[in-house]
Amino acid sequence: MLRKLYDWTMSLAATRHAEKALGSVSFIESSVFPIPPDVLLIPMVLSERARWLRYAFICTISSVLGALLGYAIGAFLYETVGQPILAFYGKENAFEQVAGWYNEWGGWGVLFAAVTPFPYKVLTIFSGATGLNLLVFVVVSVIGRGMRFFLVSWLLYRFGAPIRVFIEKNLGLLFTLFMVLLIGGFVAIRYVF
């Protein structure tokens, strides 16, 4: 089943709708969707390595625009939309405890979440709900998401063929590692922050 999903994703990466799908996933992942855009970015760059800059740019811009949606959810819809999303990730009770601290140091938190597997959407919503300076939020988001997507894309561009062989040979192991990092991010939200 995993091989079929991988083959389907690789085939989607080569279709005329791939860039729209990449932009859409990058956008919605920054505010509510739990699956990161890497599931499309990686096969797209491996499929057309010469377009790595374009794909990284699409991911970065779409992700930052989606982060603004998350910020708006936190700022304007916290009680009706933001709180249930934070509750889903187990963080609804932590709001008051960290709001003051977050407004002083939150830019670093956003940068951390933008670069790592930590669920970025939690901090986009939290940033809006606590009123983190919007300029700080946008600048840190552009830097963090850009670092992440451009680095991944460049590595795939630079080492494409061997990485593709490695991925295809170790698909099960890599999928397990990806899931551990993804779930680890959610666990970190619940128990660390």
Secondary structure class of 130 (helix, strand, coil): helix
pLDDT, residue 53, reads 96
**Tokens found for residue 70:** 């998350």
Where in the sequence is the domain holding 51, given as residue range(s)? Answer: 38-192
Residue 6 lies in a domain: no
Terminal CA-CA length for the chain: 35
Angle at 128 between CA 146 and CA 96, to 5 degrees: 125
Residue 96 lies in a domain: yes
pLDDT, residue 164, reads 64
Residue 17 lies in a domain: no
Domain count, the chain: 1
pLDDT, residue 1, reads 58
Residue 5 lies in a domain: no
Residue 12 lies in a domain: no
* Mean pLDDT per 10-residue interval, the chain, length 193 residues: 62 80 89 79 86 96 96 87 72 65 72 70 85 90 90 86 68 66 63 57
DSSP 78-103: IIIIIHHHHHHTT-GGGHHHHHHHHH
